[in-house]
Amino acid sequence: MAKETATPAPAETKAEKKPEKKAPAESVYTVSELAGNARSVFGTMQECVVAALKTDGKAEYTVSEAKEIVSKFLQKEVK
């Protein structure tokens, strides 16, 4: 039986490697911190922010995560 030989991949040179750019990590805030700034960050009342984030169940959020959750919460239909 014949053996198959694989040709080794060419080694990367230092010039070919591109440094990975890391996006700056978003800051994480507690529910109470986000609720305290509800009017300026979300354009709504503190109670709405607390209720929206309480339904999600986490203790800390980034602003972008919280905005998405609060927005969805405020758009829910009331039955």
Asked if pLDDT for residue 13 goes beyond 60, the answer is no
> Greater confidence, 19 or 65?
65
Average pLDDT over residues 16-39: 83
The terminus-to-terminus CA distance of the chain in angstroms comes to 73
Tokens 């986000």 sit at which residue?
34
Asked if pLDDT for residue 46 goes beyond 70, the answer is yes
Domain boundaries, the chain: 28-75
C-beta of residue 35 within 8 angstroms of C-beta of residue 50: yes
Quick one: CA torsion of 37, 42, 47, 49, rounded to 10 degrees? -100
Cα separation, 36 vs 71, in Å, equals 17
Cα separation, 31 vs 2, in Å, equals 66
pTM here is 0.66
